[in-house]
Structure 1
């Protein structure tokens, strides 16, 4: 019997039809996945029937025998509290920052009308979702937990009231490969043990193939194809489905044909970075310990590792964007000054591109101002006309029309926002880009196009790329070499093909296993 049935679902936002005639059913213990590019209607199809989006739904969405479409807010609130659990993409923003994990778990527990849980009940609930040291976690605030720990806590809250249906909207896209595999395995266990119906929203087709029973592929708010997940991913029936599958990076793909690299460009030796311990405890936490690496002209080097391994901290220290306790960073055999003494002629050489394109752009500035901002500091001798000409040329280089110069960030898609961020990094004519998870927030089609753009720019400009990622398949597609980090140290380094084919360190082996199964 179906736990949740959607039939002829339509959703409008501000009068615009964003979901049209979508239908599917989820049975007890079953996983149905909604897949598609950004803007395809996945999240709206999930959230609008439950009153969790600005969309106005029409059609039918039944939880058991209860019709959700047309139900009043009080009824929907009761249904959400008793029969449905939700797990969202970014656990840090989904959790209340000023409440402890225990307080939030207790609140979720009582949503379905159950009496307040005992402390031992809550410890058992967190232990069940695999959260380490559950008794201590109850008294901690969300910022004290890692990404994987927060997601486990969020899942614990979502199932605390024993729902019939769990809706997971991109629950693992912000996590590294090992954590993604662990969280998806946890969801499989909950389905098997509790008969939980799972509606999964994801752009990770590999994960869908491993965990979903059925697939509904959306495009422009409509169903493009649907049926058994394994069958449709192995042999998509639509051109759109074939495009999605082809764009998904895999470790088994043929190796890319990358151009030769040049002379050593950047040399980092024995880098150490530490931070004060939080709270009342004294001492420091060593985030990076004795890390060394070399980046050559025109080379793409991937810095890979799990969450908290020190990747971003090392990259920020190298680029003089973050602290460095000791160690040396040389550029063409010249030692770079410390962060506060980086002159424009040095700062121009290494430019960053960050993970979340929307968050890295000033929402009140036009695109032209965003791209031109580095020029005012790094090339102050340029006149207004020269700056405008450079902005136009750089927009063209990242494949954005000239009219985008007058747009605000809110009028851009995720992929367009990231192209603007890349243009801002390029406009000062750097020799190296530091890209921190620059594609992890994008869907597979958009991410693939951004990777193609980076490869083209690397060849055209002879750019060096320091590419921080938790996705080995993405690293393999773009990079000459891979350096693997664990606990602040570089534990393995070498050509990308060798690292993936014959990983020597257990950290690398774990990443390869998580990425390839």
Structure 2
């Protein structure tokens, strides 16, 4: 008998059946992966049986001999605390913002009745998931970590109490390619050492390959095909599966046709960003060191690097939503002040799109309030009706129907939330978008759509793009040039195809090899 088994699972929300007739099994020490496009029902299938969604699950659901389908609230809580661990898709929203990493790890360790862990034990938990400077991280809050670092903390918390089943909802989506392989190798080791069973939701087929034993492909709440992972990836039987595989960016695909850039729009000159060390420690952390880049009108520059390399910190400094310790940010050859001293025109011209599309949207606001927020701050001359008209046009520009204006962020898929975030940025008619991992949390089909959307918006509006990513293959579909960051420094720049063909720096070589 499998450690975890579901048979003919159905999930209903408000009378609507969103998942139907899904069957799968996970054996101890084995990995079953579910792949599919955004909104296909993957997360509902994983989380609803444990009472973690608004849905109502029916069918056979059995974990270690316990019938979860007929379990009451207390029994479900016991199953979550003692038998299961969860890695959620959005680490920034899943981690408690006002608790330090150490406090959250301590709570996770004790949830199954274990004794209070020592600081040394907490350090070892972070070391186990490959987090740098683990002793310092214990005193940091989630917002001080990069996306990849937050995901490592999530994994450490999920396995801290020694569960038998790990439910991993996109556990590597926020990580660069090399770190994805390291995390999957870590999970493989846990499965081998502890007999940990893993139910994995992923759109990263490269990560799934070689790690998952069984594969379940889902679309529109149903199973399209299932079977041994290696067989399905090598010879997909269904057209839907073939499209998922083909949508994954590759370095050997034909190069895109890109427009000719104009004059220099943005430049940074020896920009450095430092932060005070957390807790009782003295001194400062150098996140960005003497970074100099340029972005031309109508040009896309890829700012590429591994997790924690400083690329998001530099992007936030350029957008005016993060500090600059020294150096200059130049806009059309004139120095830009810190954001609080920038004029409305300066703030309007540079708009950010954040890494986590769901976390960047206010959960208590409707889409129309979210999209019109920049106009309320940057265009005080517009009345409410004019702002609403602009919001309708902005949604149309990102291929969302007008009916989405009344929806709440919780009702949006990852791809839909990212389109709303892009609409919010575009409504101010910016000249430069700063895109922080705009596709890293999305499945291949939706990610390809977002890249195509950005390329179209760039052509139609003469936009410049600063495309922050760890995925060189995705950057190649959109960008003219590349700047590679490592340990806070710009280590290599140039035409993107030339850098891919002949990478000079070891950090660039690792990123190209991982892609």
Q: For structure 1, which segment, 67-76 or 181-190, has the greater mean C-alpha deviation from structure 2 after superposition?
A: 67-76
| SS at structure 2 position matched to 1:17 | strand
Superposed CA offset, 1:450-504 (max 9, x none): 1111101111122110111122222112111111112221111112222223221
Partner of 1:254: 254
Note the 1:293-304 alignment, pairs <5 A. 293-304=293-304
Q: For structure 1, which segment, 246-255 or 363-372, has the greater mean C-alpha deviation from structure 2 after superposition?
A: 363-372
Partner of 1:485: 485
Task: Mark the CA change 1:196 to 1:407 in structure 2 (over 3 Å): closer, same or farther.
Answer: closer
Partner of 1:6: 6
| SS at structure 1 position matched to 2:415 | helix
Shift of 1:276: 2.6
Is structure 2 residue 408 aligned with structure 1 residue 422?
no
Partners of 1:462 and 1:448 lie apart in 2 by 21
Shift of 1:316: 2.4
Task: Mark the CA change 1:119 to 1:69 in structure 2 (over 3 Å): closer, same or farther.
Answer: same
Q: Which runs of 5+ in 2 are unaligned?
A: none
Superposed CA offset, 1:100-124 (max 9, x none): 7666656655655667777777666
| SS at structure 2 position matched to 1:260 | coil
Partners of 1:155 and 1:373 lie apart in 2 by 35
Partners of 1:48 and 1:305 lie apart in 2 by 36
Larger radius of gyration: 1
Superposed CA offset, 1:8-64 (max 9, x none): 111222332222111112223221101112222212222222333332221112234
Partner of 2:459: 459
Partner of 2:290: 290
Task: Mark the CA change 1:430 to 1:191 in structure 2 (over 3 Å): closer, same or farther.
Answer: same
| SS at structure 2 position matched to 1:293 | strand
Are the counterparts in 2 of residues 97 and 141 from structure 1 also a CA contact under 8 Å? no
Shift of 1:388: 4.8
Partners of 2:384 and 2:26 lie apart in 1 by 58
Note the 1:70-219 alignment, pairs <5 A. 70-91=70-91, 93-95=93-95, 108=108, 128-130=128-130, 136=135, 140=139, 143=142, 151-152=151-152, 154-219=154-219
Is structure 2 residue 474 aligned with structure 1 residue 474?
yes
Q: For structure 1, which segment, 73-82 or 196-205, has the greater mean C-alpha deviation from structure 2 after superposition?
A: 73-82
Q: For structure 1, which segment, 29-38 or 311-320, has the greater mean C-alpha deviation from structure 2 after superposition?
A: 311-320
Partners of 1:422 and 1:122 lie apart in 2 by 39
Partners of 1:347 and 1:120 lie apart in 2 by 45
Shift of 1:311: 1.4
Are the counterparts in 1 of residues 97 and 141 from structure 2 also a CA contact under 8 Å? yes
Partner of 2:277: 277
| SS at structure 2 position matched to 1:512 | helix
Structure-2-length-normalised TM-score: 0.89
Partners of 1:240 and 1:66 lie apart in 2 by 35
Q: For structure 1, which segment, 221-230 or 92-101, has the greater mean C-alpha deviation from structure 2 after superposition?
A: 92-101
Q: For structure 1, which segment, 245-254 or 96-105, has the greater mean C-alpha deviation from structure 2 after superposition?
A: 96-105
| SS at structure 2 position matched to 1:358 | coil
Shift of 1:505: 1.2
Partner of 1:342: 342
Partners of 1:482 and 1:243 lie apart in 2 by 28
Task: Mark the CA change 1:137 to 1:25 in structure 2 (over 3 Å): closer, same or farther.
Answer: farther
Are the counterparts in 1 of residues 90 and 356 from structure 2 also a CA contact under 8 Å? no
Partners of 1:280 and 1:51 lie apart in 2 by 40
Is structure 2 residue 357 aligned with structure 1 residue 357?
yes
Shift of 1:229: 1.6
Structure-1-length-normalised TM-score: 0.88
Shift of 1:424: 2.6
Partners of 2:126 and 2:505 lie apart in 1 by 31
Task: Mark the CA change 1:159 to 1:211 in structure 2 (over 3 Å): closer, same or farther.
Answer: same
| SS at structure 2 position matched to 1:454 | helix
Aligned length, in residue pairs? 514
Task: Mark the CA change 1:316 to 1:13 in structure 2 (over 3 Å): closer, same or farther.
Answer: same
